[in-house]
């Protein structure tokens, strides 16, 4: 094993796949000459050249559309959005073309493409740069949605996404690019749609994904000192979602808390809540608790932003609620 940063895991995954398959290229704003806005494509222009690592204009609709057409003609583009907030400019190409072309062509065309970049908040960036759209994309049949929380999962799942024959939304975080973690020295690929138990426990299941899962880890450490054993399940993939892993854990712990950095209405946690009560209701010893952001646009004020975001104290409180501890 070796220890690398999250941004290096992303770069390694893309570079390894581009060495393996010449139909893969990377396109986006500042991905080439600047080595990526977050240095996640550092050195790739030097290795692969300007035909395969392409600096685009500030025109998401344009380069998303070019890439979708390229994928339909046999290439495998990796499209980097500087943030998924900017993907809204090109979302018509993702929702109406990439996600639907296989069905609308009667299976004659597929669209092997990855749209990747940061999701969620990253400090004081204001309301329009702090949004999480996992549930938007996951609501669309034809798209797979991956939200890793560490370098190991990011590299293995990005390689799987690039090899997938259908469009994949791959969501990262500006605040995770410097995170370090162990990855294997050699080749590995992780399966899409498989959750991972990050911490074994017996009293309560905490389900989460992406960078906000760190708050669950903090809460679990605090609760362990109070004799409460938390099982933490990292979904890793939002669609397809590994509901069986959630059901199995809930059958063991009989309690569920869901932690998500997104607005509460029609969120991923809403769907998890429905699926659990539909399929394993009789195993629950307490109502399900979900923890989300406040139901408002993200504030710029650091004091308000701290209140708006979920944190480990919210998780501790929710766990104690389902444990009936005051």
60 a catalytic residue: yes
Residue 48, classed as helix, strand or coil, is: helix
180 bridge partner residues = 5
Q: Tokens 């396109």 sit at which residue?
A: 27
Q: Give me the phi and psi of 127, to 5 degrees please.
A: -65, -35
Paired strand residues for 53: 26
For residue 117, give the 3-state DSSP assignment. Answer: strand
Half-sphere exposure of 307 (CA within 13 A, CB side): 8
| Cβ contacts of 15 within 8 Å, gap of 6 or more | 43, 44, 47, 48
Q: Are 114 and 218 in contact (CB under 8 A)?
A: no
In DSSP terms, 144 is beta-bridged to 168
Burial (CB < 10 A; 0-12, 13-18, 19+), residue 182, is exposed
Residue with tokens 């583009």: 77
User: 17, 60, 134, 172: which is the annotated catalytic residue?
Assistant: 60
How far is Cα of residue 254 from the mean position of the Cα atoms in its chain? 26
Catalytic residue, candidates 129, 174, 231, 261: 129
Query: Which token pair is 123?
Result: 């400090």
**Among all residues, which ones are annotated catalytic?**
60, 129
């Amino acid at each position: 094993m070796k220890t690398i940063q999250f941004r290096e895991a992303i770069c390694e995954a893309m570079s390894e796949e581009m060495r393996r398959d010449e139909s893969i290229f990377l396109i986006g704003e500042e991905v080439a000459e600047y080595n990526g806005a977050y240095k996640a494509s550092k050195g790739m222009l030097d290795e692969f050249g300007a035909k395969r690592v392409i600096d685009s204009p500030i025109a998401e609709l344009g380069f998303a559309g070019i890439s979708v057409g390229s994928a339909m003609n046999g290439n495998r583009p990796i499209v980097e959005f500087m943030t998924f907030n900017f993907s809204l400019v090109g979302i018509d190409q993702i929702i109406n073309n990439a996600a639907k072309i296989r069905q609308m062509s009667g299976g004659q065309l597929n669209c092997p493409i990855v749209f990747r970049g940061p999701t969620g908040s990253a400090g004081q960036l204001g309301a329009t740069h702090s949004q999480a759209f996992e549930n938007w994309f996951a609501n669309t049949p034809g798209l797979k949605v991956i939200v890793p929380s560490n370098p190991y999962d990011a590299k293995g799942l990005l390689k799987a996404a690039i090899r997938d024959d259908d469009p994949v939304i791959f969501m990262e975080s500006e605040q995770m690019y410097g995170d370090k973690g162990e990855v294997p020295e050699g080749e590995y690929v992780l399966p899409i749609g498989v959750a991972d138990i990050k911490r074994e426990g017996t009293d309560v299941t905490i389900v989460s994904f992406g960078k906000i899962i760190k708050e669950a880890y903090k809460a679990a450490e605090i609760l362990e000192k109070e004799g409460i054993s938390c099982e933490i399940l990292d979904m890793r993939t939002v669609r397809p979602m590994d509901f069986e892993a959630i059901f199995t854990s809930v059958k063991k712990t009989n309690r569920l808390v869901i932690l998500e950095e997104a607005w509460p209405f029609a969120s991923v946690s809403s769907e998890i809540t429905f699926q659990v009560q539909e399929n394993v209701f009789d195993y629950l010893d307490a109502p399900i608790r979900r923890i989300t952001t406040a139901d408002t646009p993200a504030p710029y004020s650091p004091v308000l932003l701290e209140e708006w975001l979920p944190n480990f104290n919210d998780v501790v409180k929710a766990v104690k609620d389902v444990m009936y501890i005051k």
